[in-house]
Amino acid sequence: MEQQIVKVKNKRGVKVIPGFGFSMGVTLFLLSVIVLIPLASIFLSTARLDFREFWEIVTSRQIVSGYIVSLSCSFIAALVNVVFGLMLAWVIVRYEFPGRRLMDGLIELPFALPTAVAGISLTYLYSDQGWIGSFFAKAGIKIAYTRIGITIAMVFVGIPFVVRSLQPVLEKLDRQYEEAALMLGAGRTYTFFRVILPELFPALLAGFGLAFARGIGEYGSVVFIAGNIPYKTQIAPLLIMTKLEQYKYADATACALVLLLISFALMLLINSIQLHMQKFSKC
């Protein structure tokens, strides 16, 4: 509710709060040094190819199949993460029960565990000989070395993004509206979907976007569980690594550039949807 205030232009058109120049300076300086200047190298390196070569590389069948695997799996993984992330954030913020703090603390684990270790452990669990995988194998479902396995690894690396995006917003959420809705006779389910969820939507979307983007780029944990069969379970980052192993820098950066542009477009889209929604709810 209060978020819109910021987005509305200061009516006087004057910046009252001091520190604009200084913060802008620090922000731009660090952003350029750490992100933008190194990033420019991708463009420089790709520019060694002419457009036809570039197009041929990024539309070759293997690369396209890699993109499809990465995008579809991480999309599903991000959806799963949104559902469970919402539940987790809700449970952690709203309920008091023994083990809540432990639950809260566990959320960061996928970050701290090196991705390769996560990949090896997940494969161990989900292969048809593993603790969980053997269970599913009886039902004829193979998890490790299929796209389901890839999705699971991506769920693993993406959980913290959704939970941690939602948590601060959920904590700050004003309960008056819920209470009002409940008092006015709305059911709990109705209240949740009509009152609470719209409030959380921007944060949910942000979390979805981050988890999705992380999944697309994920390499370390996925290669172990993926099986890496061409056209079936080969992810895009692996194909980029393959290009590098062949000393084809320009090809590798071309593929990387496409991946980057997809993620960047996604981020911009999500940002503008957020903005759009805020404007609407303001009216």
Partner 1 sequence: MKKEATQEYEQDLVGDGINSIQKVIDPHKTEAAHATKYVLISVCAFFLFVMLVLPLIVVVINALRDGWAAYTEAVFDEYTVKALQLTLLATVSAVAVNTVFGVFASYLLSKFYFRGRQLLSALIDIPFSISPVIAGLIFILTFGNVGWMGDFLKAHNIKIVFAVPGIILATIFVTFPFVFRELLPVLNAQGKDEEEAAALMGAKGFTIFCRITFPHIKWALLYGIVLCTARAMGEFGAVSVLSGHLRGKTNTLPLHVEILYNEFNTTAAFAVSSILVILAILILIARNLIEWKRK
Partner 2 sequence: MVLKTMKKIKENVCLSLLSISLLGGILTGCGNSSESAGKENAAVELLNVSYDPTRELYVSYNELFCKYWNEKTGQDVTVTQSHGGSGSQARSVIEGNEADVVTLALAHDITAIEEAGLIEGGWEDEFEKDSSPYTSTIVFLVRKGNEKNILDWNDLIRDDVAVITPNPKTSGAACWSFLAAWAYQQEQDGQDEPATQEFMKKLYQNVLVLDSGARGSTNTFVENKQGDVLLAWENEAYLSMQEYPDEYEIVAPSISILAQPSVAIVDSNAKSHDTQEAAAAYLEYLYSDDAQRLAGQNFYRPSNETILKEFSDQFDLGMNLVTIEDFGGWNEAYKKFFDDGAIFDQIYEN
Q: Which does 177 bind (CB under 5 to 8 A by kind): partner 2, partner 1, none?
A: none
Q: Which does 220 bind (CB under 5 to 8 A by kind): partner 1, partner 2, none?
A: partner 1
Evaluate whether 159 touches 214 at the Cβ level (below 8 Å). Answer: no
Helix (H) or strand (E) holding 50: none
Q: Which of 143, 137, 103, 99 is nearest to 123 (CA)?
A: 143
Q: Which does 51 bind (CB under 5 to 8 A by kind): partner 2, partner 1, none?
A: none
Minimum distance between the CB of residue 271 and partner 1, rounded to whole angstroms? 6
By CB under 8 A, which span of 61-69, 137-145, 226-234, 240-248 interacts with partner 1? 240-248
Candidate residues 54, 67, 145, 156; the one interacting with partner 1 per rule CB under 8 A: 156
Q: Which does 90 bind (CB under 5 to 8 A by kind): partner 2, partner 1, none?
A: partner 1
DSSP 110-133: HHHS-HHHHHHHHHHHHSTTSTTH
How far apart are the C-alpha atoms of 195 and 189, rounded to whole Å? 10
Q: Which of 212, 256, 233, 226 is nearest to 116 (CA)?
A: 226
CA torsion angle 21 22 27 32 (round to 10): 80
CB closer to partner 2 out of 54 and 145: 145
CB closer to partner 1 out of 63 and 159: 159
Candidate residues 210, 225, 226, 254; the one interacting with partner 1 per rule CB under 8 A: 210
Binding interface with partner 2 (CB under 8 A)? 60-62, 120, 123-124, 127-130, 144-145, 223-224, 227-231, 238, 241-242, 244-247
CB closer to partner 1 out of 68 and 117: 117
Q: Which of 266, 272, 282, 268 is nearest to 198 (CA)?
A: 282
Candidate residues 47, 68, 72, 117; the one interacting with partner 1 per rule CB under 8 A: 117
Candidate residues 151, 208, 214, 233; the one interacting with partner 1 per rule CB under 8 A: 214
Tell me the residue type at 110.
P
By CB under 8 A, which span of 22-30, 53-61, 136-144, 226-234 interacts with partner 1? 22-30
Give rounded-to-5 percent helix, strand, coil for the chain: 75, 0, 25
Minimum distance between the CB of residue 174 and partner 2, rounded to whole angstroms? 26
72 contacts partner 1 (rule: CB under 8 A): no
How far apart are the C-alpha atoms of 118 and 124, rounded to whole Å? 10
